[in-house]
């Protein structure tokens, strides 16, 4: 079919040029001739454009045929018998094609039986009736005029039969015009908002043109009595008919322009859908882009094998032939959703396909984002459980050391001290020295176990909370430390533990590396977050990636969905800042 469309272009140009030359040589006014050629060219050009964009739609071929047929009427000015007879028989064919196009737009299909009947009557009038009239039409040559074309299909010339047939034709055409009015009004009234918006320009233009052609020149005979100066010559009426006929391409161009605007809206739809956080929010941009307030977006649930709306209610697909249609959205052979929209949008498959592609992409992005959020939530929950389990294990070990080994060492130290006071030991200097050494080792081991237990989970944190623990750290630090502010209320155990160990590790680094003269600690609770800062006036240059201590603290903070920041410009001191959610 693409090859046929390529052939139509040169054939159409040659046809229009030849007919124009024939009419021009016969003395047809050049301005009128240009108007007729422009109208024919518009039909053929727009028809080929539509035919190319939608090969399966009959609107394109109908417009091309109409453009060719419209030029046939000019052949009545030919001096050759064959073109003149062709014009006599087929000059009304363009009227039937116009009626056909009016009822077939925009899908290319005639929907109702009454519309088919109107189109059939138009074709019968344009071809069969015209042929019968041509059988009795007297040509100039049969009346004795030399040099004029002959009617090649003349069978029995009869002026009376010719007049009778034309009178009946006028009656049929008036009836056809009334039928067109009724059918167009009925179609417009039954159409949805989206359908009216799409076919109104073409429908109105085609309606006026078809009405004028269906009534033919009969109506102008009556109108001429109202404006005799303007309608004194029947040739004046052909200008109005040609202009009315040219309204159809104008209406069609407006329809194409609206389609282009809609496609541009779909181009922006990708950005709108990308900003929509939920499937409920996806529907509003689709309604705006497709200009269909009735549009519904439903999501496919594979496990339940049903479509659901954003509220989770089941969505049933419309039946075939209903006023609404369903466009199933699939991705890699699997269903992802459905667009339920005005059935008139099926006449613009490119628009629906573009909107469907954008929606599929948005639904895929949302699915991936939901899966990613679920995985991140699982990771956060897992890390939180790990931190909580670690904290609980630290507390258990601290209690075991305190209640077990630490108490036993205290008892051992007391027993050794009692043993040294016995008289028998005092007389044995070697034994006394041994017991003294054992006592020192017991006390040293006890100190180490206490330090170990405190490092696992300080008892003061459990007993006095974060505020008391920070004061204890400040007093125990080897450099002067000032606690500017600390919460007095209790926080959750993981948050208190994370804040405590951040301050503890930061102060340890101050003492080891910063060469600072002082440090400050602050812990402020506001807007559901605990902000902890440790500042010093040391040499700076610290790097969280350079040591396992700060890196481990950063992981601990991240596990609680917090933020860890380190500022340490060379020569400008160091600031460790942590934000923890605390409810």
525 is written with which tokens? 């609770």
Whether residue 175 sits in one domain with residue 84:
yes
d(CA 286, CA 295): 8
d(CA 225, CA 229): 9
Whether residue 419 sits in one domain with residue 401:
yes
Phi/psi at 152 (nearest 5 deg)?
A: -75, -10
Half-sphere exposure of 355 (CA within 13 A, CB side): 34
Q: Which domain holds residue 514?
A: 460-581
What DSSP state is assigned to residue 314?
B
Residue 363 lies in a domain: no
The 10 Å Cβ neighbour count of residue 13 is 12
Sheet architecture: strand order including 306-308:
306-308, 296-301, 334-342, 324-331
* Single residue among 457, 475, 504 that ends a domain in this structure: 457
DSSP 79-146: SSHHHHHHHHHHTTHHHHHHHHHHHHTTTTS--SHHHHHHHHHHHIIIIIIHHHHHHHPPPTGGGT-T
230 is written with which tokens? 């303007």
* Single residue among 429, 457, 485 that ends a domain in this structure: 457
Residue 61 lies in a domain: no
CA 491 to each of CA 384, 419, 462, 486, 527: distance values in angstroms, whole numbers, following the listed order? 16, 47, 11, 12, 14
pLDDT at 234: 45
pLDDT at 2: 65
pLDDT at 122: 92
151, 134 contact by CB (below 8 A): yes
Residue 396 lies in a domain: yes
CA 283 to each of CA 266, 291, 333: distance values in angstroms, whole numbers, following the listed order? 13, 12, 23
Whether residue 139 sits in one domain with residue 249:
yes
Between β-strands 519-526 and 574-581, what pairing exists: parallel, antiparallel or unpaired?
A: unpaired
Q: How does 461-471 read in b/e, with b if 16+ C-beta sit within 10 Å?
A: beebbbbebbb
96, 125 contact by CB (below 8 A): yes
Q: What is the helix (H) or strand (E) element at residue 575, kind and residue range?
A: strand 574-581
* Of residues 486, 476, 530, the one with CA closest to residue 507: 476
Residue 44 lies in a domain: no
Whichever domain contains 469, its CATH number is: 3.30.565.10
pLDDT at 117: 94
SS3 385: helix
* Of residues 538, 543, 551, the one with CA closest to residue 567: 543
Whether residue 466 sits in one domain with residue 453:
no
d(CA 48, CA 233): 36
pLDDT at 168: 87
Residue 523 lies in a domain: yes
Phi/psi at 364 (nearest 5 deg)?
A: -65, -45
Residue 16 lies in a domain: no
Whether residue 215 sits in one domain with residue 81:
yes
pLDDT at 195: 67
Per residue in 108-121, pLDDT tens? 888 889 999 999 99
CA 465 to each of CA 209, 395, 461: distance values in angstroms, whole numbers, following the listed order? 90, 14, 5
pLDDT at 525: 92
- Give rounded-to-5 percent helix, strand, coil for the chain: 70, 10, 20
* Of residues 442, 463, 536, the one with CA closest to residue 454: 463
Whether residue 209 sits in one domain with residue 95:
yes
Residue 47 lies in a domain: no
pLDDT at 121: 93
Which residue is it, tokens 């100190």?
447
Whether residue 287 sits in one domain with residue 246:
no
pLDDT at 230: 43
Which residue is it, tokens 């944190």?
461
* Of residues 504, 503, 571, the one with CA closest to residue 538: 571
50, 59 contact by CB (below 8 A): yes
Q: What is the helix (H) or strand (E) element at residue 352, kind and residue range?
A: helix 349-400
* Of residues 335, 272, 324, 351, the one with CA closest to residue 299: 335
* Of residues 1, 36, 2, 31, the one with CA closest to residue 16: 36
- The parts of the chain modelled with pLDDT lower than 70 are 1-3, 139-147, 192-199, 201-203, 205-241, 244, 253-281, 321, 347, 379-413, 415-433, 435-436, 439, 442, 445-457, 545-549, 583
Whether residue 542 sits in one domain with residue 440:
no
d(CA 452, CA 52): 83
Phi/psi at 158 (nearest 5 deg)?
A: -155, 115
Per residue in 311-362, pLDDT tens? 778 888 888 767 788 888 887 778 888 888 877 777 677 777 777 777 787 7
Residue 510 lies in a domain: yes
Whether residue 476 sits in one domain with residue 446:
no
Whether residue 448 sits in one domain with residue 473:
no
492 is written with which tokens? 């959750």
Count of structural domains within the chain: 4
Whether residue 389 sits in one domain with residue 305:
no
Whether residue 221 sits in one domain with residue 92:
yes
331, 280 contact by CB (below 8 A): no
* Single residue among 392, 422, 457 that ends a domain in this structure: 457
């Amino acid at each position: 079919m693409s090859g046929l469309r390529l052939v139509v272009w040169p054939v159409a140009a040659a046809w229009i040029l030849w007919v124009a030359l024939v009419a021009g040589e016969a003395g047809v006014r050049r301005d009128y001739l240009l108007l007729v050629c422009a109208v024919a060219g518009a039909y053929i050009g727009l028809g080929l454009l539509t035919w190319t964009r939608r090969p399966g739609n009959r609107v394109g071929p109908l417009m091309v045929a109409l453009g060719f047929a419209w030029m046939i009427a000019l052949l009545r000015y030919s001096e050759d018998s064959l073109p003149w007879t062709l014009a006599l028989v087929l000059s009304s064919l363009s009227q039937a094609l116009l009626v056909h196009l009016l009822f077939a737009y925009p899908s290319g299909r005639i929907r109702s039986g009454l519309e088919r009947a109107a189109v059939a009557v138009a074709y019968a009038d344009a071809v069969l009736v015209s042929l019968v009239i041509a059988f009795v039409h007297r040509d100039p040559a049969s009346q004795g005029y030399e040099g004029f074309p002959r009617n090649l299909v003349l069978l029995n010339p009869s002026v009376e039969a010719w007049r009778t047939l034309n009178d009946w034709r006028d009656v049929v055409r008036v009836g056809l015009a009334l039928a067109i009015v009724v059918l167009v009004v009925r179609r417009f009234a039954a159409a949805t908002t989206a359908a009216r918006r799409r076919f109104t320009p073409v429908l109105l233009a085609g309606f006026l043109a078809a009405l004028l052609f269906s009534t033919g020149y009969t109506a102008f005979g009556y109108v001429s009595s109202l404006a005799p100066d303007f309608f004194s010559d029947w040739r004046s009426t052909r200008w109005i008919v040609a202009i009315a006929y040219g309204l159809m391409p104008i209406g069609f161009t407006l329809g194409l322009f609206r389609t282009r605007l809609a496609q541009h809206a779909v181009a922006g739809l990708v950005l709108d859908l990308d900003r929509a956080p939920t499937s409920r929010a996806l529907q509003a941009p689709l309604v705006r882009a497709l200009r269909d307030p009735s549009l519904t977006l439903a999501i496919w649930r594979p496990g339940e094998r049903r479509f659901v709306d954003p509220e989770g209610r089941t969505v049933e697909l419309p039946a075939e032939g209903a006023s609404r249609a369903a466009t199933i959205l699939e991705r890699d052979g699997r269903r992802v959703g459905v667009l339920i929209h005005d059935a008139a949008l099926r006449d613009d498959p490119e628009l629906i396909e573009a909107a469907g592609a954008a929606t599929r992409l948005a639904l895929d992005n949302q699915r991936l984002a939901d899966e990613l959020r679920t995985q991140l939530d699982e990771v956060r929950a897992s890390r939180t459980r790990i931190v909580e389990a670690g904290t609980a294990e630290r507390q258990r070990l601290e209690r075991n050391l305190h209640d077990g080994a630490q108490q036993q060492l205290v008892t051992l130290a007391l027993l050794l001290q009692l043993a040294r006071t016995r008289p028998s030991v005092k007389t044995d200097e070697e034994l006394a020295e041994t017991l003294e050494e054992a006592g020192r080792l017991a006390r040293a081991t006890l100190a180490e176990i206490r330090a170990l237990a405190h490092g696992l989970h300080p008892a003061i944190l459990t007993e006095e909370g974060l505020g008391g623990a920070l004061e204890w750290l400040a007093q125990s630090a080897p450099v002067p430390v000032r606690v500017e502010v600390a919460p007095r209320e209790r926080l959750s155990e993981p948050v208190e533990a994370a804040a405590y160990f951040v301050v503890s590790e930061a102060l340890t680094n101050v003492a080891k590396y910063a060469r600072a003269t002082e440090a400050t600690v602050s812990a402020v609770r506001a807007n559901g977050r605990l902000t902890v800062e440790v500042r010093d006036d040391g040499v700076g240059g610290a790097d969280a990636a350079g040591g396992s201590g700060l890196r481990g603290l950063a992981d601990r903070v991240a596990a609680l969905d917090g933020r860890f920041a380190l500022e340490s410009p060379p020569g400008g001191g160091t600031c460790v800042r942590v934000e923890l959610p605390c409810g």
